[in-house]
Amino acid sequence: MTTGGQGWTSGLFRDQELAGQFSDAAMFAGFARFEQALINALAEAGLVEAEDAGRLVSQIAGFEPDHQAIAEAVVRDGLPVPDYVRQLRAHVSGPGSSMLHHGATSQDLIDTATVEALARTSDILAARLDALLALIADRQSSDGGHRLQAITRMQAALPFEASARLSAWMHPLEDLRERLTELTQRSRVLQFGGAVGDLQALGDKAPIIAQSLAKQLDLSWPGHSWHSARGPVMAHANWVSELSGALGKIGQDLALMALRGGEDIALSGGGSSSAMPHKQNPVTAELLVTLARYNATQISGMHQAQIHEMERSGAAWMLEWMILPNMCETAGAGLTAACGLFQSIERIGEPS
């Protein structure tokens, strides 16, 4: 019952690999890539000399931000970029240094680094989803022809084949897998707007610089910033909650099957009870339901966070930071749990 990724609940709710995509180290690396690409782009636009740009890019590559100092500055600034840029300015030197961060604003760095983190997150989730689909397909191969009792509205309905239930689990996961590829492509969008979103400090060089920046970072450039229009992050939030929901439905079914007994399922493992040593609780099946209901709760906050005030809302934006990485971790923890759960299934239904 601790928060913060440590403690006994970590093994249930956290996902270190996904948390790592949003860590300070990962985000600050994204900031560095942005600042490097920006210097190169400014050079392409003729605002920085090419050789200065090369030197600055090298200097940025060697920059090690002081995490602790940033963490302290965040309490005052509400975000890490001002202090990050202050440190970076102190680190670089030579001609062109004053052009560091030129035309950009904090939100450009944070949102772009977030888009990159979400893309990495999607890659991780995609691989796990493939693994889970393979496990379900294996079960389909072995037990698809088994006899199972179909249940509708909490009543025994008709007997059917186990393959029907297994397919009902697979189809939404397959759809989500297919949509993920598309979603990730669509949402790999550069954030770049400068102080108030219109890139005014860059004048008519803005389009060239933006395009160069996007190209270097392997992102698309929609022709405008999206500071107060949160489409790319919303797309990921909706998707991860739908994934958790699809896993939660499987967990709910497996918990009900465990309740109905050996006719429905044989599971190995299962949780111990401190009071009843004879029990084997379908803990992981329950966990999938928990994680689904958690993300179904969080999604509301993401939709609330769409209501930015004017050109930038700290209130709405910080709400995303509180919620979205946790949603990704929750989805990731769910996939890991679901894979483990399928590995512990010994049989579904009964041979007919």
Residue type at 199 in one-letter notation: L
- Residue 29 within binding range of a second copy, rule CB under 8 A: no
Which region among 51-59, 91-99, 145-153, 210-218 touches a second copy (by CB under 8 A)? 145-153
Spatial neighbors of 84 by CB under 8 A, at least 6 apart, are 28, 31, 65, 70, 109
- Residue 147 within binding range of a second copy, rule CB under 8 A: no
CB of 307 to a second copy, least distance (A): 5
Q: Which residues in the 74-113 window bind a second copy by CB under 8 A?
A: 74-83, 85, 101, 104-106, 109-110, 113
- Residue 20, both tokens: 């790592």
Q: For residues 163-178, b (16+ Cβ closer than 10 Å) or e, as one string? A: bebbeebbebbeebbe
- Residue 138 within binding range of a second copy, rule CB under 8 A: no
Which region among 123-131, 137-145, 212-220, 250-258 touches a second copy (by CB under 8 A)? 250-258
- Residue 321 within binding range of a second copy, rule CB under 8 A: yes
Q: Which residues in the 44-73 window bind a second copy by CB under 8 A?
A: 67, 70-73
CB of 110 to a second copy, least distance (A): 7
- Residue 187 within binding range of a second copy, rule CB under 8 A: no
Select the residue interacting with a second copy from 50, 134, 137, 315 (CB under 8 A).
Answer: 315
Select the residue interacting with a second copy from 231, 262, 263, 343 (CB under 8 A).
Answer: 231
- Residue 145 within binding range of a second copy, rule CB under 8 A: no
- Residue 246 within binding range of a second copy, rule CB under 8 A: yes
Select the residue interacting with a second copy from 131, 216, 319, 347 (CB under 8 A).
Answer: 319
φ, ψ for residue 219, nearest 5 deg: -120, 165
- Residue 105, both tokens: 């604003």
Select the residue interacting with a second copy from 217, 228, 233, 332 (CB under 8 A).
Answer: 228
Question: What gap in Å lies between CA 310 and CA 294, rounded to an integer?
Answer: 30
Q: According to the 3-state scheme, what is the secondary structure of 86-145?
A: HHHHHHCCCCCHHHCCCCCCHHHHHHHHHHHHHHHHHHHHHHHHHHHHHHHHHHHHHHCC
- Residue 96, both tokens: 């062109």
Q: Which residues in the 1-20 window bind a second copy by CB under 8 A?
A: 1-14, 19
Select the residue interacting with a second copy from 248, 332, 334, 349 (CB under 8 A).
Answer: 248
Residue type at 335 in one-letter notation: L
CB 100 within 8 Å of CB 88:
yes
Q: From the CA atom positions of the chain, what is the Rg in Å?
A: 24
Question: What gap in Å lies between CA 305 and CA 15, rounded to an integer?
Answer: 24
CB 52 within 8 Å of CB 93:
no
**Rounded (5°) CA angle 336-338-339:** 65
- Residue 166 within binding range of a second copy, rule CB under 8 A: no
CB of 218 to a second copy, least distance (A): 20
Query: x/- contact string, 188-207, with a second copy (CB under 8 A)?
Result: ------xxxxx-xx------
Question: What gap in Å lies between CA 148 and CA 151, rounded to an integer?
Answer: 9
Return the sign of the alpha-carbon dihedral for residues 44, 48, 53, 59: negative
- Residue 234 within binding range of a second copy, rule CB under 8 A: yes
CB of 51 to a second copy, least distance (A): 26
- Residue 152 within binding range of a second copy, rule CB under 8 A: yes
Which region among 40-48, 127-135, 139-147, 310-318 touches a second copy (by CB under 8 A)? 310-318
